[in-house]
Structure 1
Amino acid sequence: MSSGEKFTAEQDLNGTQTAEEMSKQHHEAEANQAEELLNEAESVVIEDSQLEELRKQAEENNQRYLRTQADFDNFRRRARQEKEEFAKYASLKLIEQLLPVVDNFDRALSSSKDTKDYEAVVKGLDIIFRQLEQMLVQEGVTPIDAVGQPFNPEYHQAIMQVESEEYEEGIVVEEVQKGYMLKDKVVRAAMVKVSV
């Protein structure tokens, strides 16, 4: 076999191998492509199921939000109604305590018309006054101590200055109108005369 014939035989041999390899590579490429398509299809199916699950969760969260918002709106409305009702009837307890005092005044006035016993009327008024004072104390209302105390503009309202030999300057000499405190708050300052 000459060298030219040898080259052609190798070329044919190489050409045959190359065709087989090309065919094999082509089949492998098609198999790989088919596998990739299958993987993509599975991925799309998985993504669709995940997407559906996420949609369900989003809908549940939205429903939960709407229920919470409705509950909060209901709570706010109830709280406003309770506040309005409380403000409307805040004095109910005090009025319930005042009614027996009003009844006693009514009885005293009725009996004073029938009799001219002024001593009994005064005694009845004194009892009613003590009943009213006791009710105020139970509610935390106390009179402001004024006479003999140093003048304090937070508790006293000076309406006049007077000379006094008994008290030094700046001391409350006389109480013209009582002042009252509700617990630690001044309801009405005492009207007083102060020494100079």
Structure 2
Amino acid sequence: MTKEKKEKINKEDEEVQEEKQTKESEKTDDNEDKLQKNEKTDDNDKQEEKETTSDEIIEQLENQVQEYRDKLQRSQADFENFKKRSIKEKQEFVKYANEGLILKVLEAYEDLGRALEVKEDKDLREGVELIYKKMDKILKDEGVEEIETEHQKFDPYKHEALMTQKNDDYENNEIIQDLQKGYTLNSKVIRYSKVIVCKK
């Protein structure tokens, strides 16, 4: 083989080698580019996952905040209702606290009323009348009122029927006679009127 041919073959070999190296280097560059792109894509995916996860966490926290706000508002409303109810119960208690005492005083008050019917001693009558008027004023000031019965229809919420009678002068279920007076304390019945009712 001649020297020229050898040189030519060597040149060709070198060129082939160079081409191989160039191709390998291009492949390596391509691979590096792909790797970089993949890494960027992975980073982007991770960042998106983080953002999604962060959004979910924020949403969960906002939901919890709303739930706690609702519970707080309900608790405040319950407490306000409790305060109002307590105040009302206290007022009711104070309003009717003297009921037992007033019932006892009413007996003496009625006895004084009966004493006024005696006409024998004028001076005694005047003294009793003064006491009766004072007691009447005190009871009215405390909210005590007599239950009306004369020519009234029988009301089971105010009257207690002890007897029934036939009477042409009265309508059916009309009160004929009041046997014992009834009273209310601040519109609450504390003693029912004991009455005779007309039945036809």
Question: Offset at 1:92?
Answer: 2.6
Identity, in percent, stands at 21
Residue by residue, what CA displacement relative to the aligned partner does 1:130-152 show, whole Å, maximum 9, x if unpaired?
3422542xxxx754432223444
Per the alignment, in what secondary structure is the counterpart of residue 148 of structure 1?
coil
CA RMSD of aligned residues (A): 4.8
Corresponding residue number in structure 2 for 1:128? 135
| Structure 1 gap ranges (5+) | 1-18, 106-115
1:156 paired to 2:159: yes
Question: 1:10-49 to 2 correspondence within 5 Å?
Answer: 27-28=29-30, 30-49=32-51
Distance of 1:152 and 1:75 partners within structure 2:
40
Per the alignment, in what secondary structure is the counterpart of residue 90 of structure 1?
helix
Residue by residue, what CA displacement relative to the aligned partner does 1:5-51 show, whole Å, maximum 9, x if unpaired?
xxxxxxxxxxxxxx888986775465234313212213313432553
Per the alignment, in what secondary structure is the counterpart of residue 127 of structure 2?
helix
Question: Offset at 1:173?
Answer: 0.7
Structure 2-normalised TM-score?
0.51
Corresponding residue number in structure 2 for 1:119? 126
CA change 1:168–1:77 in 2 (3 A) is closer
Corresponding residue number in structure 1 for 2:53? 51
Work out whether residues 146 and 184 of structure 2, in 8 Å CA contact, stay in contact via their aligned partners in 1: yes
CA change 1:160–1:82 in 2 (3 A) is same
Question: Offset at 1:191?
Answer: 2.0
Distance of 1:119 and 1:185 partners within structure 2:
33
Question: Offset at 1:52?
Answer: 4.0
Distance of 1:47 and 1:53 partners within structure 2:
10
Distance of 1:74 and 1:42 partners within structure 2:
47
For this pair of structures, how many residues does the alignment match?
161
Letter in 1 for 2:149: A
Question: Relative to structure 2, which stretch is displaced further, 77-86 or 158-167?
Answer: 77-86
1:166 paired to 2:169: yes
Distance of 2:131 and 2:31 partners within structure 1:
117
CA change 1:56–1:85 in 2 (3 A) is same
Residue by residue, what CA displacement relative to the aligned partner does 1:135-185 show, whole Å, maximum 9, x if unpaired?
42xxxx754432223444454321112344533554311012334568887
Letter in 2 for 1:92: V
| Structure 2 gap ranges (5+) | 1-19, 109-122
Question: Relative to structure 2, which stretch is displaced further, 32-41 or 146-155?
Answer: 146-155
Letter in 1 for 2:47: V
CA change 1:28–1:187 in 2 (3 A) is farther
Question: Offset at 1:192?
Answer: 1.1
Structure 1-normalised TM-score?
0.52
Per the alignment, in what secondary structure is the counterpart of residue 157 of structure 1?
strand
Corresponding residue number in structure 2 for 1:147? 150
Work out whether residues 96 and 185 of structure 2, in 8 Å CA contact, stay in contact via their aligned partners in 1: no
Letter in 1 for 2:160: Q
Question: Relative to structure 2, which stretch is displaced further, 69-78 or 33-42?
Answer: 69-78
Distance of 1:76 and 1:45 partners within structure 2:
46
Corresponding residue number in structure 1 for 2:180? 177
